[in-house]
Amino acid sequence: MTGRVGRPQGRARGSTEQANALAEFLLTLTDGTTVRELAARYPVGKTLWGEYRSGEKLVPLDLLTRLVEDHTSDERARRQRLETAVRLHSAALDAAMRAPVPRTIPTTAPPPAPDEETISASPGDVPSTTDAEARQAPMNRRRRSRPLMFAGGGLVLVAFALLVPLAWPGPASAPSAHGAGAPLAEGSVFATGPGGQGVFQWDGTDPAGWTKVGESATHLWSGPAGLFAAGADNRLHKYGGRPGRWSVIGDAGHDVAVSGSGVYRLDADRKAVRVWDGYGTSWTQVGGPAARLYGGEPGLFATDPNDGRIFRYLGRPGSWEFVGTAGASFALTGGDLYGLTPERTAVNRWAPGRQPAAVLPWVQAAGPAGALYGGASGLYSTDPTGKRLRVLAPGPENPDSVREWQDIGAAGADIGVGRRGVYVLTADRSAIVRWSRDTAAWRRIGGPAQSLTVAVPPGR
């Protein structure tokens, strides 16, 4: 009896012909090698190897290149195989991006354009708000740093070094460049229609500049990595840059955050944090249990599900840094992390490097608040009643000084922060209004709507 023991690989089951062709190439390349042997040699589990060789998932190009080099001794044959590998991989990626539009977000005609309306600069003219969600947990500005621990069987690190070996599949934690779609235009605002029916994009000009780009969604997220929507099927969809062009990239989970080119998800059971690998529905686990994710220009942060402490992701699976104890609310601006104390009596700014090593680097930045909202144009908050919206006013040159809140109007049912101002969905969800930091004036840009998100393109 000759041959290797193991279950034979079945026929290719990819979603496109190009994915199947790539799988056949991979299967031929690794012929005579079992998935167990591949898992022992490369940092990919047996299950994922099976999915790569069946075409259900696309093998990463760097791993495919390594396989060609390891399995081809002749130099001329190696060059030819590398060219074939790149060609097949590129074709499979292109085919995946041209996948049929999900039924939950089909192409539709643009909506009727609302009438333009200019809103007075008077803060009281903007409708009042419902109270935004705020987290209840203590936050101590002066607490000694401890080794990071995600409770419930999560990660344990000392001096930010991983102590327990992990067998997480997938490539590096950052998504591949080929996963990125067309960059979102500066100033674009995305909103869902009443009841989540319809996904609309504002071009940043006037209330007539709305285009329907998708059919339905329950929640929207945006950032330099693009626009993402949770569909009625509880799947996460990525916008491809043109109306009706969406692709499923996985389950929506419990929470989603966008930070730089990374798209992160907290699983529905909140037991793992994952990053999208940039293609198909492939995700890599990068962290353990969490309560909520916060993403922005300063990076990715997660709160502990038991005591609410907050941690920063250091860019490698399993590598997290403890940065502070729990708070009632957190927000990220263009360069800073802010936390609201549990009693909501003060807002503190994370200022690493400014404090003695014996204490956590938090300094008070502002007074009481109800909830925090951050973005490229700065830090915003509701007042303790949750009815008024304020912006953190410019202060002295000393970055550690306590600054004043400036009341700018009524808050609303949803709030999004852009690079030049803040967008508010009024409490009755009848209008989307924009406050400009340049003019300090409010203006209606559309509505009615159910939710909104503001696009922040990369490198701006």
pLDDT digits (tens, 9 = 90+) for 291-331: 999 999 899 999 999 999 999 999 999 999 999 999 999 99
Three-point CA angle 392, 396, 397, nearest 5°:
115
User: Are the CB atoms for 340 and 139 separated by under 8 Å?
Assistant: yes
Non-local (6+) Cβ contacts of 168 within 8 A are 284, 285, 286, 317, 318
- pLDDT score at 46: 83
Backbone angles phi, psi at 104, to 5 degrees: -75, -15
- Token pair of 61, please? 């190009």
Alpha carbon dihedral 269, 271, 277, 280, in 10-degree steps, equals -20
Residues listed for the chain? 460
pLDDT at residue 354, rounded to an integer: 56
Domain ranges of the chain: 17-97, 117-454
Q: Which CATH class is domain 117-454?
A: mainly beta
* CA distance linking residue 446 with residue 54, whole number of Å: 47
- The ranges of the chain with pLDDT < 50 are 1-8, 99-181, 356-358, 460
Number of H helices, E strands in the chain: 5, 31
Is the pTM higher than 0.75? The answer reads no
What is the rounded distance in angstroms from the CA atom of residue 132 to the CA atom of residue 51?
42
The sign of the CA dihedral 236, 301, 266, 130 is negative
Q: Sheet of 362-366: strands edge to edge?
A: 329-332, 337-340, 347-350, 362-366
| Torsion over CA: 359, 360, 361, 364 (sign) | negative
* Nearest in space to 306 (alpha carbons), one of 121, 101, 99, 153: 153
- Would you say the C-alpha torsion 137, 347, 369, 273 has a positive or negative sign? negative
Helices 61-71 and 75-97: crossing angle, nearest 10°? Answer: 160
Q: Which residues contact 273 (CB under 8 A, 6 or more apart)?
A: 264, 265, 266, 267, 285, 286, 287, 288, 290, 293, 302, 313
pLDDT at 12: 74
Residue with tokens 């290149």: 65
pLDDT at position 382: 97
The pLDDT value recorded for residue 457 is: 66
What pLDDT, on a 0 to 100 scale, did the predictor assign at position 188? Answer: 82
- DSSP 3-state of 67: helix
Structure-token pair, residue 91: 């074709």
Would you state the torsion angle of the CA atoms of residues 371, 373, 379, 385, taken in this order, to the nearest 10 degrees? -30
Nearest to 107 by CA among 272, 240, 293: 240
Rounded distance between C-alpha atoms, residue 66 and residue 85, angstroms: 11
DSSP for residue 156: B
Q: How much is the pLDDT for 141?
A: 35
